[in-house]
Structure 1
């Protein structure tokens, strides 16, 4: 009976996934981009209900049916949704905490993205680094041709040269961009699955309050070591430079999240309006060169020192 139920649910979830995939294929654009985040949900839900082994069989079946009924190009998408969904659903099946589930799911989606990178390079001959660098150079050249007449003088030429150098270095942080993409897919897919399970099974899955978000102290060590190595090897293009700049970027984003979490915590302790920390986030994103660095410093202080305990004691 249990096996029959498992097989039935697996066939249903596989069918739902294929339906979503076909809708995305035939409805490109904004709608397709939004629905892309729903693709991992059938894998997450099924793996949560029956474990990662059953989810793995569903993933294999989805690969086969995707190849038969969809296009070969959609195979990398199935790889991303399936691997990420397996990791998320498996963590939920083992009753991990929401943030632990998010971390495990992020690893799964990052593995899926790396798999896409390998598949597209091996079977389609697409080199992401070269494609990104070429696209950025074309965009810069087009912009320079459009507005070049308005920019005159040595200062303008130096600014253009500086911008070009920064563009040429953007492909170096592609691993960080891929990791951020995986993290984003994980949290959205996890949130959507929570909503689905809560409605179907009348559960109360939810993320812990963001103001209680805490990172381990080890993140600071990774951040400072990567920062030192980054500035030492800033003129290089070796493996140490690439590793340092990507670790520095990722840990910097995590520390900024810690800083925003403290702002929410402080606003809660002071009983301020919820709009205040929301405005702080918007302003930091609009003025990242100034405010985002201040938020990151706040995150460093919050991780390294018992700042929250002092606020609670004063309260």
Structure 2
């Protein structure tokens, strides 16, 4: 960053990041939405000047955010900055858009895991454990209130709720993957229109209906299913690995299943509004989501689209 233009733009992008960062922290209700734009200054700067210069911008952003806020702000700056640099570097190289999404997901995931570990080791703050504890306390308080009113919940319902809390604790890695994927996808969605307005080439996204995951995932899923038949003790490393692989693969197959449905709707000329409404309904009905995942497995394993054609 020796030339004046790069230094000037670095200062501008740093100022934009700081304004967005302060707004995401102090503006109620809209903070989460504003945070989706935090990687944007790094994306723009990386596409124009390369990732090496962007690393200098990232260093400045970490220092300034720490000075004007707290030490925890540095971790947020690193997460959004590194993710923006990854997205910008791949977009500058005209990489496949799904490859950009995958790389951004990995970048967010690594940052989420590192921040989670640091919060436990150095700040003794376990957000997952505290959230589960609050849910458990609220549930048992509600049970006591119902019992005092003469209504007693079945023991099976209470046991099922407690089992669900334990499962959530075990599938924390899967929750991190979902959060990283959501952050990456939404960040790209809100950034691409702005990048186009800035006349930066972002390529074209293939339609979602054309998405095809690697067929090897079917074999991985079969191996994981076989592993579930072994008597794995809850809480062990092997149990946690198997259950998280199971849920992550279920997520990927659900995405594949939705892609097939979008392809089928396109072939049958079904209105897009109906398809989107159906997708939203399926997301909130676990049984339907499970059926969509099975459809994704069939689509990958048996090339269902060729049969539709």
CA gap of 1:151–1:169, structure 2 versus 1, over 3 A, is farther
1:177: Cα distance to partner? 0.8
In 1, Cα distance between equivalents of 2:5 and 2:43: 17
1:140: Cα distance to partner? 2.1
CA contact (8 A) 1:176 1:250 kept: yes
CA gap of 1:76–1:128, structure 2 versus 1, over 3 A, is same
Q: Deviations over 1:220-271 (max 9, x none)?
A: 2232322332453554211111111111111111100110110110111111
- TM score, norm. by length of structure 2: 0.92
Between stretches 74-83 and 230-239, larger displacement belongs to: 230-239
In 2, Cα distance between equivalents of 1:204 and 1:238: 44
Q: Deviations over 1:9-31 (max 9, x none)?
A: 22211111111111122213x21
SS of the equivalent of 2:212 reads: coil
Equivalent residue, structure 1, for 2:210: 212
CA contact (8 A) 1:79 1:116 kept: no
Equivalent residue, structure 2, for 1:255: 253
In 2, Cα distance between equivalents of 1:100 and 1:64: 31
Equivalent residue, structure 2, for 1:90: 89
Q: What is the Cα-based RMSD across aligned positions, in Å?
A: 2.0
Q: Deviations over 1:44-94 (max 9, x none)?
A: 222222222222111111111111122223222112211211221121122
1:138: Cα distance to partner? 1.7
1:151: Cα distance to partner? 4.5
1:188: Cα distance to partner? 1.2
In 1, Cα distance between equivalents of 2:145 and 2:210: 48
In 1, Cα distance between equivalents of 2:119 and 2:81: 17
Equivalent residue, structure 2, for 1:280: 278
Please list, as runs of the form range in 1=range in 2, the aligned pairs for 1:131-142 lying within 5 A after superposition. 131-142=130-141
SS of the equivalent of 1:201 reads: coil
Give the aligned length. Answer: 308
CA contact (8 A) 2:20 2:38 kept: yes
1:211: Cα distance to partner? 0.6
Q: Does 1:33 align with 2:35?
A: no
In 2, Cα distance between equivalents of 1:44 and 1:177: 26
In 2, Cα distance between equivalents of 1:283 and 1:150: 36
Structure 1: which 5+ runs fail to align?
A: none
CA gap of 1:40–1:301, structure 2 versus 1, over 3 A, is same
CA contact (8 A) 2:94 2:202 kept: no
In 1, Cα distance between equivalents of 2:150 and 2:181: 41
In 2, Cα distance between equivalents of 1:115 and 1:304: 36
Q: Deviations over 1:86-114 (max 9, x none)?
A: 22112112221111100011101111111
1:123: Cα distance to partner? 2.9
Q: Does 1:244 align with 2:246?
A: no
CA gap of 1:235–1:102, structure 2 versus 1, over 3 A, is same
CA contact (8 A) 1:83 1:111 kept: no
Higher helix share: 1
Q: Does 1:308 align with 2:297?
A: no
CA contact (8 A) 1:43 1:85 kept: yes
Structure 2: which 5+ runs fail to align?
A: none
CA contact (8 A) 1:259 1:298 kept: yes
1:129: Cα distance to partner? 4.4
In 1, Cα distance between equivalents of 2:230 and 2:95: 40
SS of the equivalent of 2:36 reads: helix
